[in-house]
Structure 1
Amino acid sequence: MTGQFETRLGELGVTLPDAPAPAANYVPYVIVGDMVYVSGQISNNGGDLITGKLGDNMDTAEGAAAAKTCAISLLAQCKAACGGDLDRLVKVVKLVGFVNSTADFTEQPQVINGASDFMVEALGDTGRHARSAVSAASLPLGVAVEVEAIFQIK
């Protein structure tokens, strides 16, 4: 049986992928009590990295689309942390977004809106969260965006 959140994702044309494996010596998430801390998820499209630098060879809309892919991976990690039952998700508590951007690029919030807007579109009020959006001189593997999250689960 598909739960309410995955039904909504399906209506949006999104199927959660398998949770991506970590690329180094860390775990994809840590559960402490009813909180899940998810490691940063990098921008990718079906396993193909979305690389680039905002303010140089990517525009804000492309960055927002890359941030949305990070949000999808974050939900995949949350689902894994919930034993496959995404309906255990109570709240998206916080997102922290990193944008690979030039020194003069100032639209980091609009880029990370790609992740934030998706969380609210897919999860309704459960997806409303606190957030930070910061610039980075570079990100792992040259990706455009990386987003980490804190979720509350039951």
Structure 2
Amino acid sequence: MADIDSRLKELGLTLPEAAAPVANYVPYAQSGQIVHISGQISLGPDGLVTGRLGDGVSLEDGQAAARLCALNLIAQIKAACGGDLGQVKRIVKLGGFVNAHPDFYDIPKVINGASDLMVEVFGDAGRHARSAVGVAVLPLNAAVEVDAVVEIA
């Protein structure tokens, strides 16, 4: 696999610090070579992207929010790998949750923001199974939350 840190730099991406848990859970749990990454919300350098898709938040803003979630996931993956993203063998699955108005149906298109970034960063190893679910509300009124299952070396 290509050097992931170089790939991030090439894409002009800077990983945030891996966020500390805000409740009674751990940011990731490893069992053998499988790491489950806790849900990461749409928090970026300008703060938390909040609101409901289809009710004040556009599809494009939702996709950007999902991309922030993916960057936060990669930061957690890096922490789980002791700082070495080269240990990532595969992004196995993403679970996407979208704060959505009942009439908003483009949930999968929103989560594409996270899926696309995983493929941009990890190449074929970033191709994954996925779920994309619309929900009535997310913690802190976040627009999007995404969790992950990752295989590492």
Q: Which residue of 2 aligns with 1:120?
A: 119
Matched residue, 2:137: 138
Query: Percent identity among equivalent residues?
Result: 57
The aligned residue for residue 60 of structure 2 is: 61
- Residues 53-109 of structure 1, C-alpha deviation per residue, up to 9 Å, x if partnerless? 000001111000000000001010000000010100000000000000001100000
- Equivalent residues in 2 for 1:5-154, closer than 5 Å: 5-46=4-45, 48-154=47-153
RMSD of Structure 2 on Structure 1 (CA):
0.9
CA distance in 2, matches of 1:47, 1:126: 30
Unaligned runs of 5+ in 1: none
1:100-135 deviations in Å (ceiling 9; x for gaps): 000110000000000000100111001000000000
Letter in 1 for 2:145: E
How many pairs were matched up? 152
**Deviation of 1:47 (Å):** 6.4
Q: Secondary structure at the match of 2:148?
A: strand
Give the superposition deviation at 1:15.
1.4
Gaps of 5+ in 2: none
TM-score normalised by the chain length of structure 2: 0.97
One-letter amino acid of the counterpart of residue 37, structure 2: V
SS in 2 for 1:36: strand
Q: Distance in 1 between matches of 2:139 and 2:55?
A: 17
TM-score, normalised to structure 1's length? 0.97
Query: Which SS does the other structure have where 2:109 is aligned?
Result: helix
Moved over 4 A (4+): none
CA distance in 2, matches of 1:15, 1:50: 18
